Amino acid sequence: MKKTILMATVALFALQANAQEALEESNICDNWYVGVNAGIGMKTTENSDVLKNLNPSVGLRLGRYWTPVTGWMISGEVFLRDKAFDWSDAKTVKGTSVDLLGTLNLSNWFGGYLGEPRHFEVVALAGLGWNHVFDTKLARANDMVSKFGLDFTFNLGEKKAWQFYIEPAINYNLTNTNEVRFNVNRSGVQLTAGFNYKFSNCNGTHNFKFAELRNQREIDALNNRINDLQAQVVAKNKQVAERDKTIATLQDDLEAAKKVKPTVTTVTKVVNNNVLQPTVIFGQGKSTVDAAQMASVAMVAKYMKNHPESKILIKGYASPEGNPELNQKLSEARANAVKKVLVSRYGIAEGRLTVQGMGATSELFDEIDFNRVATFTDTTK
């Protein structure tokens, strides 16, 4: 028997140690609860009429869970009758009892804690207390008592902050005689039902919470990431310093340039009469002529019909972003797309049209998007 108790004790402490490693640390103000209850009790033996010998009681509890397995509580009860006990001549409150009880969550002990309470759990409780009898007929008004019981607990609510329990228990009067001992003939059985409310914890829940543990590999990876980020910060700071130096130099050059008087140069504008004004603009990466650009194509077709001798060179362009080889192919595709429209829709003879892919450019227009274009040149002028 002693060996069994020793093994159970060792297993309990091992489970508690594992739980502490996996759970977030609790503050002193965490995992407290308060409860109310009511019950009925009677003598364990010598009950000639069970129904007539039932004694009601009401009580309060204040407790705390040390771990998901173990805890303690202070339980106070008021006894309203003493049928078959014959304790007191008091008419209303026959006696009171205050117990200090330890609790053991059997569900978490054997099944492990799941990160939150189960909907149903079994909790064992046991401890010592002090019983006081009012207006007693006996010489002794105060006695040491002991209580053993089981709580069949239902955890309620979305956050499982409420508990409803049904508790069968046995209470022993230990000092009714000159010696302290457990005697079934000086005991009573009790059935109690009640509610507990678990106060909110610092972790944001009403219960124990698993800590987010990391293994050494994750810690090393995080440290390496931190070192990389620190190196990037140093490099960025160096770049910022170099840019600040460049900005300072440019500002000095700007101030010097402001002091130089400008010279006026007369520019003679050269007009290239063989470049037609209409252009066809394309979307980025596109070589399809949009409906919005058909007006420009129609203008060129009208020009060629009014000038039957004209021959047109269609030049396709791409904006400077992207791969040069891809831009070259894209510029050729744009020129061919415009030629196809002139031939198929407007009936322009294919021999009067020449296409040329000019690749990427940023010099036709100041706006980058305008350089995704096809232009028209009258090669007969």
Beta 312-318 vs 353-360: how paired, if at all? Answer: parallel
Stretch 275-284: mean pLDDT: 90
Whether the CB-CB separation of 167 and 191 falls below 8 Å is answered with yes
What's the CA gap between 300 and 341, in Å, rounded? Answer: 11
pLDDT in tens, 328-349: 999 999 999 999 999 999 999 9
Stretch 226-239: mean pLDDT: 92
Burial of 329 from C-beta contacts in 10 A (0-12 / 13-18 / 19+): middle
pLDDT at 368: 81
Q: Please tell me the least confidently modeled range out of 79-88, 110-119, 298-307, 309-318.
A: 79-88
Q: How confident is the model at residue 269 (pLDDT cuts 50, 70, 90)?
A: very low
pLDDT in tens, 36-60: 999 999 988 877 777 888 999 999 9
What's the CA gap between 23 and 340, in Å, rounded? Answer: 74
Stretch 180-204: mean pLDDT: 91
Stretch 140-155: mean pLDDT: 92
Q: How confident is the model at residue 73 (pLDDT cuts 50, 70, 90)?
A: very high
Residue type, 24: E
Q: Please tell me the least confidently modeled range out of 135-144, 307-316, 317-326, 361-370.
A: 135-144
Burial of 126 from C-beta contacts in 10 A (0-12 / 13-18 / 19+): middle
Q: How confident is the model at residue 270 (pLDDT cuts 50, 70, 90)?
A: very low
- Strand ranges (E), 134-284: 142-156, 162-173, 187-198, 280-281
Burial of 168 from C-beta contacts in 10 A (0-12 / 13-18 / 19+): middle
Q: What is the pTM of this model?
A: 0.52
pLDDT at 210: 84
Q: For residue 212, give both structure tokens.
A: 């987010």
Stretch 231-253: mean pLDDT: 91
More confident residue, 181 or 287: 287
What's the CA gap between 211 and 21, in Å, rounded? Answer: 8
Q: How confident is the model at residue 137 (pLDDT cuts 50, 70, 90)?
A: low
Q: Please tell me the least confidently modeled range out of 126-140, 216-230, 256-270, 272-286.
A: 256-270
Across the beta sheet with 312-318, the strand order is 280-281, 373-378, 312-318, 353-360
Q: How confident is the model at residue 265 (pLDDT cuts 50, 70, 90)?
A: very low
pLDDT at 366: 79
Q: How confident is the model at residue 273 (pLDDT cuts 50, 70, 90)?
A: low
Burial of 361 from C-beta contacts in 10 A (0-12 / 13-18 / 19+): middle
Q: How far is CA 197 from CA 63, 73, 350, in A?
A: 10, 13, 90
Please determine, for residue 129, whether its predicted confidence score (pLDDT) is greater than 80: yes
Whether the CB-CB separation of 182 and 172 falls below 8 Å is answered with yes
Whether the CB-CB separation of 317 and 359 falls below 8 Å is answered with yes
> Token match 């919005």: residue?
292
Instruction: Identify the structural domains of the chain with CATH numbers, from first to last.
Output: 2-198 (2.40.160.20), 280-378 (3.30.1330.60)
Residues forming a β-bridge with 281: 373
What's the CA gap between 19 and 12, in Å, rounded? Answer: 11
pLDDT at 140: 64
Please determine, for residue 14, whether its predicted confidence score (pLDDT) is greater than 60: no
Q: How confident is the model at residue 253 (pLDDT cuts 50, 70, 90)?
A: confident
Residue type, 302: K
